[in-house]
Structure 1
Amino acid sequence: MILIAFYLLIACVFPDILINCDVISKKNKYIFAIFDNLTHGIIAFFSWIYYREAESHLHEIWSFSLIMEALLCAFFSCIIDIDHFICAKSFNIKTVLDYRQDLYGRPFLHNSALIPFIAILLFILLKWLKFMPKLLPKNYGILYLLCNAIEFLIPCLIIAMATHHIRDAIRRGLTFKFFLCRNFNLNNHQRHFFFLNTNPLPYFLYITLLIFIPPCLALSVKIYSFLFIQQSHLSGISQNSKYKPIHLI
């Protein structure tokens, strides 16, 4: 696990060394944007391997299935930047780079309040699917696959989004935007937000957070599994079922 943590540390620090040494020039916005996006993916890749090793104490760290999981986590982390194109309403990179964000700050996928919201939403969906075999006993195989997919997505999206937001935060800070209500009338259309933007994170805090997020997430999953292991079986499924029981995360 120490070796994976070291790889993650290198993934966090080495890109900034290249930038500070002017190997990757900030003056060329195109190269810098592509390099920055790839860095998000690399950090998410090693963060996921670090998480899985901390959670399961894997003996084969570089197994094919684990690498595929890590690549998917890296993809999710990279794809977050698509909200820049959506907000700019253009797929022209120059237009996106020149686009100034509105009064509410960062694009919607860079809103850090989405991380707990998405995780809780997926968790509620997972709990709801646990009881579906009572209603649809013939579709247990499909439900089994869905639950496994959601169990993977919850920590995967947390790591992908958290690592992306924290790396961006060393330049722009973290953005928390909570949608409160929307007022409609004939002449006006207003949205009301609770909006918070932090100061840029100190570099040592950026490194500390990225190093500690995977093991802390793995620890929280272990604690949950230990406390609720008796509730982790799908309701209505007998112990003699040909399918393995589904465990929450």
Structure 2
Amino acid sequence: MPHCHIMVYMRIVLTTLVTITCLLGDNFLELTQHPLLKALADNATHAAIGALTGIAFAMQFYERTTQLFGWLLIFTCFVVSSFIDLDHFVEARSLYLEDATNLSRRPFLHCSSIVVVMLIFYICTACLNYFRTSLMLGALLCAFITHHTRDAVRRGFWFCPFGHTSPLPHTAYILGIIVTPHLLAYIHEICRSPLLLNFLGQYIKLSECNYRSSGGGYRYLQV
């Protein structure tokens, strides 16, 4: 079977699984009233979405990295998607679920300004060809973006210090989660495109020429 056909089938399967996971997880939360069961189901849904998103992101690069590193990307996205909610307990300064779920404000890892900073570092590392570092940042971005997008259905995005956006429509949140890994992979490809690399190369050469003409040298950069 041609490679392109396999990729198409994989995307269809992953898109279907993500959609089903979102719908089942959200519907289960509406049906149950038990606090512990609700918290576990919510976190499990985040983790499952993270794992599926990690697979969708890693498979974009499977020809350019090892199988072990691909599994590491998936595992990272899976774990981080779940562990983000631990900041509820940190913010509450308590190990009791009741305290963690009744905060007066959103905990720090739910600030979407973190995503903006991570995205900048992701683009920089991709442009500078720190390949594995950029992919690891991409996996972390998948985890944070999908987690924040799912939470945004109820409370919107929180961009500190600017405030909160309006709650996200349910359809938009599912589409956003589906698109996230493919969009991040596309951004990576743009960062490695010949046109952009040629531009960056010319800029660096120009900067070096200006530095040398100003009487500077590289002795200050040597260690």
Deviation at 1:3, TM superposition (A): 1.5
CA distance in structure 2 between the partners assigned to 1:153 and 1:43 by the alignment:
17
Deviation at 1:173, TM superposition (A): 1.1
Partners of 1:173 and 1:200 within 8 A in 2: yes
Name stretches of at least 5 consecutive residues in structure 1 with no aligned partner. Answer: 131-146, 179-194, 233-249
Deviations 1:192-246 (A, max 9, x none): xxx22112111111111111112111111112212345679xxxxxxxxxxxxxx
Partners of 1:169 and 1:200 within 8 A in 2: yes
Q: Which residue of 2 aligns with 1:209?
A: 176
Q: Which residue of 1 aligns with 2:18?
A: 8
Partners of 1:123 and 1:154 within 8 A in 2: no
CA distance in structure 2 between the partners assigned to 1:71 and 1:123 by the alignment:
22
Q: Which residue of 1 aligns with 2:38?
A: 32
Deviations 1:108-164 (A, max 9, x none): 111111112123246557878x7xxxxxxxxxxxxxxxx454222221111100000
Deviation at 1:17, TM superposition (A): 2.9
TM-score (norm 1): 0.66
Q: Which residue of 1 aligns with 2:151?
A: 168
Partners of 1:175 and 1:196 within 8 A in 2: yes
Structure with the greater relative contact order (CA < 8 A, sep ≥ 6): 1 or 2? 1
Partners of 1:83 and 1:107 within 8 A in 2: yes
Q: Indicate yes or no: 2:117 matched with 1:150.
A: no
CA distance in structure 1 between the partners assigned to 2:100 and 2:111 by the alignment:
18
Partners of 2:14 and 2:56 within 8 A in 1: yes
Identity between Structure 1 and Structure 2 (%): 27
Query: How has the CA–CA distance of structure 1 residues 221 and 121 changed in structure 2, closer, same or farther, with 3 Å as cutoff?
Result: closer
- As a proportion of its length, which structure holds more helix? 2
Kindly report which structure 2 residues correspond to 1:103-122, keeping only aligned pairs within 5 A, or say none: 106-121=106-121
- As a proportion of its length, which structure holds more strand? 1
Letter in 2 for 1:156: A
CA distance in structure 2 between the partners assigned to 1:98 and 1:208 by the alignment:
29
Off by >4 Å, runs of 4+ in structure 1: 122-128, 228-232
Name stretches of at least 5 consecutive residues in structure 2 with no aligned partner. Answer: 1-10, 202-223
CA distance in structure 1 between the partners assigned to 2:111 and 2:148 by the alignment:
8
Q: Which residue of 2 aligns with 1:50?
A: 56
CA distance in structure 2 between the partners assigned to 1:16 and 1:64 by the alignment:
32
Partners of 2:152 and 2:168 within 8 A in 1: yes
Partners of 2:126 and 2:192 within 8 A in 1: no
Kindly report which structure 2 residues correspond to 1:1-249, keeping only aligned pairs within 5 A, or say none: 1-20=11-30, 22=31, 25=32, 27-53=33-59, 55-56=60-61, 65-101=69-105, 106-121=106-121, 124=124, 147-178=130-161, 195-227=162-194, 228=196
CA distance in structure 1 between the partners assigned to 2:101 and 2:19 by the alignment:
28
Kindly report the root-mean-square deviation, in angstroms, between the aligned alpha carbons of the 2 structures: 2.6
